[in-house]
Amino acid sequence: MKEQNLGLGIWLMVVTTFIFAMQDGLSRHLAGEYNTMMVVMIRYWFFAAFVMAIAKRQAGGLRSAAQSGVPWVQAFRAALLVVEINVMVVGFVFLGLVESHAVFACYPLLVAALSGPVLGEKVGWRRWAAIGVGFVGVIIILQPSGGVFSPYAAIPLLAALMFALYGLLTRYVARTDTAATSFFYTGTVGMVVATAIGAWYWVPMSTPDWGWMALLCMTGAAGHYTLIRVYEVAEASAVQPFAYLQLVFASILGIVVFGETIRANVAIGVALIIAAGLFTLWRARKAAA
C-alpha cells in the first residue's frame, strides 16, 4: 500500500479543478462551432502524442509504461473517460457551464458513496447521511417546476456517474501501477476510442480555432496527469470534496465569458451539495486522526 499524503492530494485536486474548468470553457466554445466528437478526437491525438513522448524519455520507455498489473481495467477506465468527456461537452452545449456543473457537482458524493464497495474504504453512517443531504441538493437543482429538470439534465447526471467510476478505477489501479502507466493508458487507449467515435464527424477547422484547440489539448494533458497523481497520494473519499471547486471556477467562467446566470434553486442546491462534501472531508480527517 502506497504512503498517503492528504495535504498534497488536496492541493493537487485544487490545481486539477482549475485546469478542468478552463478546459470546459474551451470545450464549450469549440463544441459550439464543431461536432463534439471531432473536438474530443483531436484533443486525444495531441494528448496521446504527449503521453508517448513522456514515456519514451523515462526509464524503460514505452514498454515499461505499458506494463500494468491490471491492463484491462486500465483500458476500460481510459475508454470510459472518453465517453464521459463526450457526454459532458454535449451538456455544456445544451445547458451551459453553470447548470451542467451544478448537476455534475454530485459526482464527488458518488465517489464517496462507492469508495466502500469498489475500493474497500470505510464510509460511516455520518458520511452516508451527508451524501443523502447532498443528493437532496441535487433534487433542488433539478426541481421539475422550471428548474434545470429536462431531458438535457440527464446528460451531466450520466457524466457524473461515469466520472465517479473513472475516479474510483484510477484509485484502484494506483494500488499496483504507477501514475506514468495510468497516464500512458489514459492517452493511448483513449486516443483509439476517441478516433473510432470522432472520425465520422470530421470537418475543416479555422486557423484561430486550431489555436484554441492547441490550448485545449495542453489543459487536457495537464489535468489528467494531476488527477492521476491525486488518487495516487490520497484516499478518494478524503480529497473529493475539493473537486467542488471546479463548479466555482466554471461558474465564474460561464458568467464572465458566456453571459450565463445562476438561478436561486441552483445556488441553494449547490450550497447543500458543497456543505455535504465538506462534511465528508471533516469526517475523513477525524477518522484518520
Domain boundaries of the chain, sorted by first residue: 6-288
Length of the chain: 289
Higher-confidence position of 155 and 247 = 155
Q: For residue 150, what pLDDT band results from cuts at 50, 70 and 90? A: low
Burial of 161 per CB tally in 10 Å (0-12, 13-18, 19+): middle
For residues 277 and 127, the answer to whether their CB atoms sit within 8 Å is no
pLDDT value of position 289: 63
Q: Give how far Cα 215 sits from Cα of 91, 127, 209, 257, Å.
A: 21, 38, 10, 17
**Tens digits of per-residue pLDDT, 166-197?**
988 988 898 888 888 988 999 999 999 999 99
Residue in the structure block whose three cell numbers are 442546491: 269
pLDDT, average across residues 106-127: 77
pLDDT value of position 1: 46
pLDDT value of position 281: 67
Alpha carbon distance 270, 281 (integer Å): 17
Alpha carbon distance 54, 65 (integer Å): 10
Contacts of 53 (CB under 8 A, 6+ apart): none
Amino acid at site 38? M
pLDDT value of position 197: 93
